[in-house]
Amino acid sequence: MRVALAPSFQPLKAPGTATGGAPLADPAGPRVVLGWSEDALAAPLAPSRRSLFGPRGLCLHPEGSLWVADSGHHRLLGWRRLPMKDDAPADLLVGQPDFGREGRNAKGPVGLATLNVPTGVCAWGQGLAVADAWNHRVLLWHRTPAEPNRPADLVLGQDDAGAMLANRGADRPTAASLHWPYGVAEIDGKLVVADSGNRRVLVWDRPARNGQPADLVLGQTGFETRDENAGGPVGPVGMRWPHGLAWWRGRLAVSDAGNNRIMLWDGLPTRDGAPCDLVLGQADATGCDHNRGAYYPCAAALNMPYAVAVSEGRLIVADTANSRLLGWSEAAPDAPDAPADRLSGQVDFASKGDNAWRPAGRDTLCWPYGLSARDGLLAVADSGNNRVLLWDLAP
């Protein structure tokens, strides 16, 4: 059951701080809200064509469709055309026998059309890539599904369609195994996967067969280790909880949520374990505390950032545990202290709180978990509010 928050709270922020920023998204609010109605104080989470339960990933596909990983219902929902009105029902379904059903792998055996906590979704060529996190695999469709429960064409992380063990049941990873992959992106024709449970990012040059091993690893110095921060202190090589992936003005951006930072590489690395060139959210590559060790946030701090996206030259970050969206402008920073200059979800950079400590409204956020951006439109998986926002970016 969804319950509105008590209206008596005020935005939580550092006393005497009112550091505002230019709006990231249209101050008038989202143009479309899916999975939620503003006049309902509570709504059931039972699966249907319209309901969402903790959505964690989504994709504004170049062909004009919208795809949402309805993670809590263990399914993928598709809208053939971008929804133009609130609460629009989905057209397509993958992962369940019908829109009224839920359950891990549809309460049956694992297959190429079943899902277990799907998270990241991205366009992959003319098709889709989906991070099927708790089946420890990535599913690939050569074309976007045009009918319900169309099986995926390829599976990575497992040998075959019926396998679902973390690291294929072994104690240590390999170049062909996965453990809780949460993020996917296509960058320069390559498939990039945030293999979160193995604390690494994997890159496939051209995935073409089931179980194919990755070609490159970041976050670890080799494919056979999965140590937090590469087994050493926090630095430019290791990761704690990589999740989101994007390409920003010639740089690979990875949201390292566990270290409360965004890691940036100049270009796509070509050697295993390459150190990042810059971080955002920390004073330097050795910092890892949420909000830089402070209780309150600021324009240069992050608290469990799970997603990144790029539009209109801006880097957009879902600063998840601060329940806000941050934006860095067209000029790529060259110093780790670079503050964000765009903000949505809170009244100023010093404020935090789920739904800004108000009842959930059309323009509030509660743990935004996934992002997708295209042609000036931002899609937000507002996971804590069990909904998706389609929000025009502010000029």
Q: Is residue 148 part of a domain?
A: yes
**Confidence check: pLDDT of 43 > 70:** no
Q: Is residue 313 part of a domain?
A: yes
Q: Is residue 99 part of a domain?
A: yes
Q: What is the mean pLDDT of residues 179-186?
A: 98
> What's the structural domain count of the chain?
1
- The residue among 132, 124, 117, 128 whose CA lies nearest residue 92 is 128
Q: Is residue 252 part of a domain?
A: yes
User: Residue 16: pLDDT band by 50, 70, 90 thresholds?
Assistant: very low
Q: Is residue 1 part of a domain?
A: no
User: Residue 7: pLDDT band by 50, 70, 90 thresholds?
Assistant: very low
pLDDT tens-digit profile of 77-136? 999 999 999 999 999 999 999 999 999 999 999 999 999 999 999 999 999 999 999 999
What local confidence, expressed as pLDDT, does residue 6 receive? 36
How many residues are listed for the chain in this entry?
Answer: 395
Q: Is residue 371 part of a domain?
A: yes
Q: Is residue 87 part of a domain?
A: yes
Q: Is residue 281 part of a domain?
A: yes
Residue 243: give its domain's CATH number.
2.120.10.30
Q: Give the separation between CA 306 and CA 118, rounded to whole angstroms.
A: 15
Q: DSSP string covering 113-141, please? A: T--SSEEEEEEETTEEEEEEGGGTEEEEE
Question: Does the pTM of the predicted model rise above 0.75?
Answer: yes
Q: Regarding beta strands 278-280 and 305-311, do their DSSP bridges make them parallel or antiparallel, or are they unpaired? A: unpaired
**Confidence check: pLDDT of 348 > 90:** yes
Q: Contact at 8 Å (CB) between 71 and 55?
A: yes
Structural domain boundaries enclosing 287: 12-392
